[in-house]
Amino acid sequence: MLYRPRNRRSRPGQRHPLREDVSALSNLLTQLQKNSEYLARILTREQGKPLPEALGEMIWAEAYSLHYATLEIPSCIIQDNLGCVELKRKPLGVVAGIVAWNFPLLLACWKIGPAALAGNTIVIKPAPTTPVTTLAFASLAKDVFPVGVMNIIADDNDLGPCLTSHPDVAKVGFTGSSKTGKRIMENSAGSLKHLTLELGGNDPAIVLDNVDVKEAAQGIFNAASMNAGQVCLAVKCAYVHELAKLAREAVVGDGLNQGTTIGPIQNKQQYNKVCDFLERASRDGNVIAGGEVLEGSGYFISPTIVRDVTDRHQIVDEEQFGPILPVISYSQVNDIVRRANDTEYGLGGSVGVNQRNTPNSWIAIAFCDPEPAGCGHVKAAPFKSDT
């Protein structure tokens, strides 16, 4: 049974002072730093990403934990001619954090830090295919918070509805697919829970005509193939070419082996989806690199570049969440801006320009400004620095 020292019924007078929460977050950061390589190796063995990427996830988790430990939640007094109001922020109570399998530890830290800082208790549910890293982290951090403040549960993909519909859960934070996000909204509606949903994306990358395409290709390929393409903000379709050589040179294999640049698809269900995309890519377009399911123990797929596809092909319109990148040609900038924005997703998008403060750079900014995406990137050659 969940211990609820700070839930909606009992929170008045029982919330830990903020300084204790900040101290706990600092101790959490210490545990991450002391055990980063240990956790990274577990993560690679469980999730599949190459060890350098797993170590990178540890660094990001540490950075965010450090950031949360420096935050304050001050009271605010607002006064005008009509009177004085004191604004105070109080904890909601029990928060549920449901975490995807592509960055299990980083996403858990994203949810633990803010929830604890605000005086809540939190229940983290990792994906059923990646619970081990999160549980290993919890065993290291079990004495960081008071009993019942941080809780980790593992399941067989059957406890999500229980958490999202439970009347004592005041807020749900979820990172994962749009389809699952809709189900969480439905389950949470009965008790009008607070929700934070970070869902899927199908992020376009446009390279304008004055950019050195060979230079831009490396940045686009990296953005598309990180974590075997299993990133919500990964480039999912590119309006450029010159990527096939990079795909052929990528080293696919065991993430613990030195030199591996792309690991496996994390689980069988996603592997089957990516294989279906491969079949559609071969049928609808021209696979110029990769397109192969690799032999061996694991869900390995060679990074794949597909050309001669266009809008309304499934490989372009839907999120692949795997190492497949459709490349789309264009001739008119206005036309490609319209096509790139014609999507049901709204997470991110990128435009590559030769240099800033040129007519093309202002076209790029104009693309990002009305774009429905939450994150718009204007990148100067060689497609590295973000704005």
Is the residue at 271 inside a domain?
yes
Residues 211 and 242 in one domain: yes
Q: What is the pLDDT of residues 345-370, one digit of tens each?
A: 777 777 776 665 555 555 555 555 55
- Number of structural domains in the chain: 2
Residues 182 and 223 in one domain: no
Average pLDDT on 135-164 reads 92
Is the residue at 117 inside a domain?
yes
Is the residue at 2 inside a domain?
no
Domain hosting 23: range is 18-198
Residues 152 and 25 in one domain: yes
Residue 287 bridge partners (DSSP) = 306
Q: How much of the chain, in percent, has pLDDT values that exceed 70? A: 85
**Peptide bond before 382: cis, by omega within 30 degrees of 0?**
yes
Cα 346 to chain centroid, rounded? 13
Residues 191 and 287 in one domain: no
Is the residue at 1 inside a domain?
no
pLDDT for 381: 45
Is the residue at 273 inside a domain?
yes
Residues 164 and 227 in one domain: no
Q: Give yes or no for residue 115 having a pLDDT over 80.
A: yes
Residues 186 and 207 in one domain: no
Name the domain boundary from 165, 198, 231.
198
Q: How far apart are CA 228 and CA 355, in angstroms?
A: 30
pLDDT for 339: 78
Is the residue at 223 inside a domain?
yes
User: Which pair of structure tokens corresponds to residue 376?
Assistant: 């718009």
Residues 236 and 218 in one domain: yes
Average pLDDT on 152-179 reads 95
Looking at residue 290, which CATH number applies to its domain? 3.40.309.10
Residues 40 and 142 in one domain: yes
Is the residue at 6 inside a domain?
no
66 contacts: CB under 8 Å, gap ≥ 6: 29
Residues 307 and 193 in one domain: no
Residues 137 and 209 in one domain: no
Residues 48 and 183 in one domain: yes
Is the residue at 4 inside a domain?
no
Residues 212 and 149 in one domain: no
pLDDT band at 16 (very low <50, low <70, confident <90, very high): low
Task: Assess contact for 49 and 257: CB atoms under 8 A.
Answer: no
Name the domain boundary from 198, 218, 251.
198
E-assigned strand segments in 26-88: 76-80, 83-87
Name the domain boundary from 173, 198, 223.
198
